[in-house]
Chains A and B, each alone.
Chain A
Amino acid sequence: MRLLTHNMLSSNIKGVNNGFPLLIEAEKVVEKLVDFNPDFLRNIFPKIDWKALVAAARAVGYGELPDAADPAMLDSDDFLRHLHHALLQLHLEEGALVCPETGRRFPVNKGIPNMLLHEDEV
């Protein structure tokens, strides 16, 4: 699971008001090379929750992203490369996602997060 996906997921448990962002418990992180596409990054940038992305990147051991970002930084090639690496190339392979409110763990196996809820959580 990429951090891009993580940036869009939120906890879906009944009664949880703010299930975003899910905390990451990383056990194994892999890197997969993806073609660099600056236009894609520029377009996806407004949709990204930056704070959540920075926290997620740190959780998987990547600290190159600045604490705050604004659209002007998109002109910098260096920034785009870091963003590209964090968004698309880092994969959480094994570990868990944790709901920030309830502490419920969603296990991640083979890169697939199990977001199925128990019957009492629906």
Chain B
Amino acid sequence: MSRPEIQAPPEIFYNDEEARKYTSSSRIIDIQAKLSERALELLSLPNDGVPRLLLDIETHHSVELGLDLLGYDIDFTSFAISSTALTFALIETKNETFSVSCFVGCGSGLSGETLSENGHQWIGLDISESMLNVALEREVEGDLMLGDMGQGLGIRPGVIDGAISISAVQWLCNADKSSHEPRLRLKAFFGSLYRCLARGARAVFQVYPESLAQRELILGFAMRAGFAGGVVVDYPHSTKMRKEYLVLTCGPPSLSTATPKAKGEDEESCSEDESSGDGENQTVCISDRHRPRKKQRITKKGKGREWVLKKKEQLRKKGNAVPADTKYTARKREARF
């Protein structure tokens, strides 16, 4: 199946049925959890006792944050904003550090749930009402908002300490309505994000760019908005495990803004410029849950001798010339070797 971005605009693609998958499919939940865990890792909130406000932007792929794995015992006050989905969360780490983060594309609030479990409070933004309704059903503790990240975030300047988004940003590159201009939407998104982030705050976006050009477009607009940073590619040599994270820092480049190291970069010269294996991108969509066609055919049992005899009988009744039934009829061929 093609990429979800191509099929329909987010508010239509993430309908009730699609939203349901984010609560019923353990595989989708698992992938989302892993992605958000890694994104949080990249966000690398310092444990310096300073309160932080973060922003987590994912597309409709909702995230489960395994904060405990990261050593954060976090208290989240999060808000879910639904446009392509946006969540804000307030994080309190173990040593009494409190942050507010924003999750863009909070979706059904899976991420928030984990946060709440850890005693966190959170806020999320999503464009799909269905996803937010699922979040409501799950009685997530954070605040939810319906909004479009391509229209800008609409948040007061300087209040957020970090932002995370899982596979949301590439949706901005699509013009789903005649009034949509991807460049303007990217500009509005990154511009408003830059304004609402505090100085020195980080933003981590997991993205599935369609092509090299699309990645450059996204990165270009991020840089133009004033962000420093770059792309971290985890497992660059694997087509399936390969994951790209846009790690952006608000403010001038410094040591602290250095891009973190990617995972699985064992071989030399893992340039970030190599184009991604598009088709193999592990997009969380329902098609991946079906097994590949070839496999299906192999595992299916062939039609046996009984079926062949029945068919031949039918044709005989129709008056067709049908070869007689012998011991060779529908016999399995011997293996050649």
Measured CB to CB, the residues of A under 8 A from B are: 1-2, 4-5, 7-12, 19-20, 34-35, 37, 39-40, 43-44, 46-47, 49, 88, 110-117, 119, 122
B154 touches A (CB below 8 Å): yes
Q: A4-B77, A116-B147 are in contact. Are A43 and B156 (CB under 8 A)?
A: no
Tell me how many residue pairs across A and B have CB atoms closer than 8 Å. 105
B151 touches A (CB below 8 Å): yes
Q: Are B143 and A111 in contact, with the CB atoms below 8 A?
A: yes
Measured CB to CB, the residues of B under 8 A from A are: 50-51, 53, 75, 77, 79-83, 88, 90, 92, 96-98, 100, 119, 121, 123, 125, 127, 132, 136, 141, 143-148, 151-156, 159-160, 177, 179, 188, 192, 196
> Which residues of B have CB within 8 Å of A19?
154
For B121, give its contact among A7, A12, A88, A119 (CB under 8 Å).
Answer: A88
Interface centre among B53, B136, B144, B145 (most CB of A within 10 A): B145
Q: Are A20 and B100 in contact, with the CB atoms below 8 A?
A: no
Residue of A nearest to B82 (CB): A112
Q: Are B79 and A5 in contact, with the CB atoms below 8 A?
A: yes
Q: Are A40 and B154 in contact, with the CB atoms below 8 A?
A: no
For A5, give its contact among B50, B143, B177, B188 (CB under 8 Å).
Answer: B143
Q: A44-B51, A47-B159, A116-B83 are in contact. Are A35 and B119 (CB under 8 A)?
A: yes
Residue of A nearest to B153 (CB): A12
Pick 28 A–B contacts, CB within 8 A, sort by A.
A1-B143, A1-B144, A2-B77, A4-B123, A5-B123, A7-B156, A8-B79, A8-B156, A8-B196, A9-B155, A11-B154, A34-B141, A40-B98, A43-B92, A47-B51, A47-B159, A88-B77, A110-B136, A111-B143, A112-B82, A112-B144, A113-B145, A114-B146, A115-B125, A115-B146, A116-B127, A116-B147, A122-B179
* Bound CA–CA A9/B88 (angstroms): 11
> Which residues of A have CB within 8 Å of B92?
37, 39-40, 43
B161 to chain A, nearest CB (A): 9
Residue of B nearest to A109 (CB): B146
Mostly, the A contact residues are loop
* Bound CA–CA A12/B125 (angstroms): 14
* Bound CA–CA A113/B126 (angstroms): 11
Q: Are A37 and B179 in contact, with the CB atoms below 8 A?
A: no
The 7 closest A-B CB pairs, nearest first, are A43-B51, A12-B154, A43-B98, A115-B147, A5-B143, A119-B179, A114-B146
Q: Are A39 and B143 in contact, with the CB atoms below 8 A?
A: no
> Which residues of A have CB within 8 Å of B188?
122
* Bound CA–CA A102/B201 (angstroms): 32
* Bound CA–CA A116/B85 (angstroms): 12
> Which residues of A have CB within 8 Å of B100?
8, 44, 47
* Bound CA–CA A36/B205 (angstroms): 32
Residue of A nearest to B98 (CB): A43
Q: Are A116 and B155 in contact, with the CB atoms below 8 A?
A: no
